[in-house]
């Protein structure tokens, strides 16, 4: 921990603040969101389809508006978008705890999603700009703070929700309100390079978007990286379902909690070491290939476990239900640790250091759509495997996805498409 803090202090104050901000953002978000569905269906007694609608509106408003949020950050500045996102999430979270009508719930859910679309691209572009040549190491540290918020948030939320879910909402809103004030007072104003901004602001938004859509290496990279997000999301989808399929709920809830602990703690402990090790040995493209390959291989323990007869009860059943998913979660975390800092750095390089927040916004939208499609496919594979008596099917499918994406990245790396365009070369304005 001391070494981690020393590394953080080696960066500019703005970078330090962005890392702490991201921890706080995730703390507030994850103390509330895991318990929202239970509040809507239980406390408010809403039908299942309405609960799905409210949650879906939040996801759609975030994924659908990432490109707009990134564009606004490049045109207006990073700080205003970060502050606006935090203020909007303050209002959204407070509203979720105080209202019970469907229109108000939908509006609050949309506001929380839009908030993420405003500050996420801006935070990453700001961090990339102020970290300079140390971008890779900065994004590694950023991921440590990111995962720490995800790990601690649900624990705090569990305690607060035990009192009242409204308390959880108001505390989360208070965190974002405090964060808004801190950023208004302490975060320096930052945007793209002034001369570059003046030139690009003369272009219309649609012209800028057409230019980015004509950046084929960036689009190919974005599509190839979809698999990493689909695979990492299985810590929340396929792995818990596998634990429950084998062991049911009850005492096996501990095994599900272990998945999240393994994923978060391994990142907190190992991220900076893994990044330093990879940077010393691999080019960015090589690290990305190895990260995706590790994520694909993460499902091999589950695949092998399907060949083991399922005990009826006892320690054997617990081990079968808990150990292979935990190993998969660990390997997914390792693969993410390898890939993530180089992934964030590659987006900046492929953008040519122009319209960086807009590139992050489009990247998030592409990967968000991919997650939705990928999760539908994973759910279909899980259902088909049970109906056909083929428990290995989902794990074969997910492993194949990871290895296919690794192969795609290998091809992009070998053909030089992951290298930065020359600084003097403008992005084409038409498709």
Q: Answer yes or no: do 55 and 24 share one domain.
A: yes
Q: Answer yes or no: do 330 and 389 share one domain.
A: yes
pLDDT band at 193 (very low <50, low <70, confident <90, very high): low
Which of 168, 191, 214 terminates a domain? The answer is 191
pLDDT at 426 over 80: no
Which of 137, 159, 191 terminates a domain? The answer is 191
Closest by CA position to 399, among listed 413, 380, 381: 381
Q: Answer yes or no: do 131 and 225 share one domain.
A: no
Q: Answer yes or no: do 166 and 109 share one domain.
A: yes
Average of pLDDT values for 11-32?
93
Domain assignment of residue 391, given as a range: 204-415
pLDDT band at 429 (very low <50, low <70, confident <90, very high): very low
Domain count, the chain: 2
Closest by CA position to 271, among listed 320, 321, 341: 341
Q: What is the mean pLDDT of the chain?
A: 88
Structure confidence at residue 377 (pLDDT): 86
The set of residues, in sequence order, having a beta carbon less than 8 Å from that of 17 and lying 6+ positions away, is 182, 183, 186, 187
pLDDT band at 7 (very low <50, low <70, confident <90, very high): confident
Q: Answer yes or no: do 221 and 361 share one domain.
A: yes
In a domain, 420, yes or no: no
Average of pLDDT values for 404-423?
87
More confident residue, 166 or 6: 166
pLDDT at 195 over 70: no
In a domain, 4, yes or no: no
pLDDT band at 174 (very low <50, low <70, confident <90, very high): very high
pTM of the model: 0.89
Q: Answer yes or no: do 230 and 131 share one domain.
A: no
Structure confidence at residue 247 (pLDDT): 72
Structure confidence at residue 110 (pLDDT): 94
In whole angstroms, give the CA distance from residue 350 to residue 413. 12
pLDDT at 292 over 90: yes
In a domain, 46, yes or no: yes
Asked whether 78 and 125 are in contact (CB, 8 A), the reply is yes
In a domain, 170, yes or no: yes
Asked whether 75 and 199 are in contact (CB, 8 A), the reply is no
Q: Answer yes or no: do 117 and 213 share one domain.
A: no
pLDDT digits (tens, 9 = 90+) for 294-328: 999 999 999 999 888 777 777 888 788 889 999 99
Structure confidence at residue 201 (pLDDT): 57
Q: Answer yes or no: do 171 and 246 share one domain.
A: no
Asked whether 413 and 285 are in contact (CB, 8 A), the reply is yes
pLDDT at 291 over 90: yes
pLDDT digits (tens, 9 = 90+) for 46-65: 887 888 788 888 888 888 89
Phi, psi of 390 (to 5 degrees): -125, 80
**CATH number for position 139:** 1.20.1250.20
pLDDT band at 428 (very low <50, low <70, confident <90, very high): very low
Report the range of poorest mean pLDDT among 146-155, 212-221, 385-394.
385-394
In a domain, 146, yes or no: yes
pLDDT band at 200 (very low <50, low <70, confident <90, very high): low
More confident residue, 42 or 113: 113
pLDDT band at 202 (very low <50, low <70, confident <90, very high): low
Q: Answer yes or no: do 228 and 362 share one domain.
A: yes
In a domain, 428, yes or no: no
In a domain, 421, yes or no: no
Q: Answer yes or no: do 233 and 360 share one domain.
A: yes
pLDDT at 77 over 70: yes
In a domain, 427, yes or no: no
pLDDT digits (tens, 9 = 90+) for 270-290: 999 999 999 999 999 999 999
Roughly what angle, to the nearest 10 degrees, separates helices 216-224 and 315-351? 170
Q: Answer yes or no: do 181 and 229 share one domain.
A: no
Which of 133, 166, 191 terminates a domain? The answer is 191
pLDDT band at 149 (very low <50, low <70, confident <90, very high): very high
Q: Answer yes or no: do 141 and 258 share one domain.
A: no
Average of pLDDT values for 220-246?
90
The CB-side HSE value for 243 (13 A sphere, CA atoms) comes to 28
Asked whether 218 and 212 are in contact (CB, 8 A), the reply is yes
Structure confidence at residue 4 (pLDDT): 80
More confident residue, 185 or 46: 185
The set of residues, in sequence order, having a beta carbon less than 8 Å from that of 140 and lying 6+ positions away, is 271, 272, 274, 275, 337, 340, 341
Asked whether 67 and 361 are in contact (CB, 8 A), the reply is yes
């Amino acid at each position: 921990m001391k070494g981690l803090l020393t590394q953080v202090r080696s960066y500019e104050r703005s970078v330090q603040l962005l890392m702490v901000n991201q921890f706080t953002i995730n703390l507030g978000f994850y103390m509330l969101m895991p318990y929202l569905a239970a509040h809507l269906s239980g406390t408010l007694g809403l039908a299942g389809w309405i609960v799905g609608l409210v949650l879906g509106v939040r996801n759609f408003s975030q994924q659908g508006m990432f490109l707009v949020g990134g564009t606004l950050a490049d045109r207006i500045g990073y700080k205003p978008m970060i502050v606006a996102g935090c203020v909007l999430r303050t209002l959204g979270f407070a509203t979720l705890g105080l209202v019970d009508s469907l229109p108000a719930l939908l509006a609050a859910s949309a506001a929380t999603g839009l908030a993420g679309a405003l500050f996420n691209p801006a935070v990453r572009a700001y961090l990339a700009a102020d970290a300079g040549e140390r971008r890779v190491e900065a994004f590694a540290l950023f991921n440590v703070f990111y995962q720490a918020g995800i790990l601690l948030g649900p624990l705090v939320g569990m305690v607060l929700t035990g009192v009242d879910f409204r308390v959880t909402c108001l505390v989360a809103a208070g965190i974002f309100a405090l964060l808004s004030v801190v950023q208004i007072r302490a975060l320096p104003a930052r945007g793209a390079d002034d001369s570059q901004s003046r030139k690009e602001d003369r272009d219309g938004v649609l012209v800028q978007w057409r230019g980015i859509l004509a950046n084929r290496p960036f689009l190919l990279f974005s599509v190839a990286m979809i698999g990493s997000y689909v695979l990492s999301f299985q810590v929340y989808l396929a792995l818990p379902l596998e634990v429950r399929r084998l062991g049911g709920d009850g005492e096996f809830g501990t095994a599900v909690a272990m998945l999240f602990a393994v994923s978060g703690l391994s990142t907190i402990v190992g991220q900076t070491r893994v990044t330093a090790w990879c940077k010393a040995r691999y080019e960015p493209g090589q690290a990305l290939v190895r990260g995706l390959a590790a994520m694909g291989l993460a499902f091999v323990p589950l695949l092998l476990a399907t060949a083991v007869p399922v005990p009826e009860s006892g320690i054997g059943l617990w081990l079968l239900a808990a150990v292979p998913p935990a190993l998969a979660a660990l390997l997914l975390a390792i693969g993410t640790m390898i890939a993530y800092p180089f992934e964030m750095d590659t987006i900046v390089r492929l953008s040519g250091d122009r319209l960086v927040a807009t590139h992050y916004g489009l990247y998030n939208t592409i990967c968000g759509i991919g997650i939705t499609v990928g999760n539908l496919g994973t759910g279909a594979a899980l259902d088909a495997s049970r109906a056909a008596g083929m428990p290995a099917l989902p794990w074969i499918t997910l492993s194949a996805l990871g290895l296919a994406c690794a192969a795609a990245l290998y091809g992009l790396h070998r053909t030089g498409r992951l290298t930065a365009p020359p600084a003097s070369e403008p992005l084409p304005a038409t498709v």
